[in-house]
């Protein structure tokens, strides 16, 4: 009897490359994808665990004061308050370090490793690329700048004898928190990206950012002490850390420092100046062709 043909128990198919006929979502999707990707990279997601340490520590540093304060307020007698300017003092260092790490993550590697040639040959423009990076960094900074004071506000509302009337009476605080957060986020994003647009190596860019800010602050402080007359009041406009400190005191009703002798809106001009310089540098670095 003839042997029955054996049934193959498995076959290997070369499925090959299939053409894609699904959705193509175009430029707006690409920009959104770049923002999400950049946020993930900034937080160390899908990177080695060492990349996650600094962001995690910064979140702990930024959020733990507000949790402690909220807890304390629950037990302290009414009338004891903790101002938003005090909280801003706690989180400003976290913001500075976060910006130092984030900004080079946003720009430096793509330029040094020449990944830009791949980005610019896809469905986005150079301006889209920059806007996505600015958006990603500003959003990340906002998680540290806006989150803690917002939590403090919520805690104060919930701990008040009459939460609804407290909320109605202090709605202005919310506006001030939002304005302050937005301004510091934009300010640090601009300063950070300004350095990152010029320095290709991430570590060096971070060091230049922190070192540069401390150095300029030291120099302007010395100048302020050495000078007299009304001109010295304007030194604060070129002193990056004192400027943001003065802005914080102005918006969040804190105690101004010795250097902060100008009227509040003048500090806005200082912030606008930094943003303009950063925009100009980024334009020169990215928008002009190879």
Name which of 193, 68, 177, 90 is nearest 140 in CA terms: 193
**Out of 3, 11, 23, 78, which residue is the one contacting other proteins (CB under 8 A)?**
23
Q: Does 81 bind other proteins (CB under 8 A)?
A: no
* Closer Cβ to other proteins, 31 or 197, answer by number: 31
**Out of 9, 13, 17, 75, which residue is the one contacting other proteins (CB under 8 A)?**
17
Positions 24 through 53 that interact with other proteins (CB under 8 A): 24-27, 29-30, 33-34, 37, 46-48, 51
CA atoms within 13 A on the CB side of 53: 3
| Tokens matching residue 192 | 């950070």
Q: Does 123 bind other proteins (CB under 8 A)?
A: yes
Q: How many CB atoms lie within 10 A of CB 98?
A: 26
Q: Does 167 bind other proteins (CB under 8 A)?
A: no
Number of H helices, E strands in the chain: 11, 0
* Residue 44 φ/ψ region, left for φ over 0, alpha for ψ in the -120 to 50 degree band, beta for the rest: left
Find the shortest distance in angstroms from Cβ 34 to other proteins: 7
Q: 255-282 burial string, b = 16+ CB within 10 Å, else e? A: ebeebbbbeeebbeebbeebbeebeebb
* Closer Cβ to other proteins, 113 or 258, answer by number: 113
Q: Does 284 bind other proteins (CB under 8 A)?
A: no
Residues lying near other proteins in the complex (CB under 8 A) are found at: 16-27, 29-30, 33-34, 37, 46-48, 51, 109-110, 113-115, 117-125, 289-290
């Amino acid at each position: 009897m003839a042997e029955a043909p054996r049934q193959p128990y498995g076959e290997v198919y070369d499925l090959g490359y299939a053409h894609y006929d699904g959705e193509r979502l175009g430029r707006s999707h690409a920009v959104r994808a770049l923002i999400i990707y950049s946020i993930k990279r900034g937080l160390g997601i899908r990177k080695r665990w060492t990349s996650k340490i600094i962001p995690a520590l910064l979140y702990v540093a930024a959020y733990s004061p507000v949790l402690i304060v909220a807890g304390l307020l629950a037990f302290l007698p009414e009338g004891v308050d903790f101002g938003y300017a005090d909280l801003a003092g706690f989180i400003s260092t976290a913001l500075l370090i976060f910006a130092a790490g984030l900004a080079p993550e946003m720009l430096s590697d793509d330029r040094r490793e020449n990944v830009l040639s791949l980005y610019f040959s896809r469905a986005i423009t150079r301006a889209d690329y920059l806007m996505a990076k600015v958006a990603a960094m500003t959003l990340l900074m906002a998680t540290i700048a806006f989150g803690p004071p917002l939590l403090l506000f919520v805690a104060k509302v919930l701990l008040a004898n009459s939460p609804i009337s407290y909320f109605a009476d202090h709605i202005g605080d919310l506006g001030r928190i939002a304005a302050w957060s937005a301004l510091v986020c934009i300010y640090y994003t601009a300063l950070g990206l300004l350095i990152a647009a010029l320095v290709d190596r991430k570590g060096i860019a971070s060091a230049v950012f922190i070192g540069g800010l401390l150095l300029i602050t030291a120099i302007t402080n010395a100048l302020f002490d050495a000078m007299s007359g009304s001109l010295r009041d304007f030194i604060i406009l070129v002193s990056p850390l004192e400027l943001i400190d003065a802005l914080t005191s102005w918006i969040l009703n804190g105690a101004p420092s010795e250097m902060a002798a100008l009227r509040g809106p003048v500090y806005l001009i200082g912030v606008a100046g930094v943003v303009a310089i950063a925009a100009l540098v980024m334009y020169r670095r990215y928008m002009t062709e190879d």
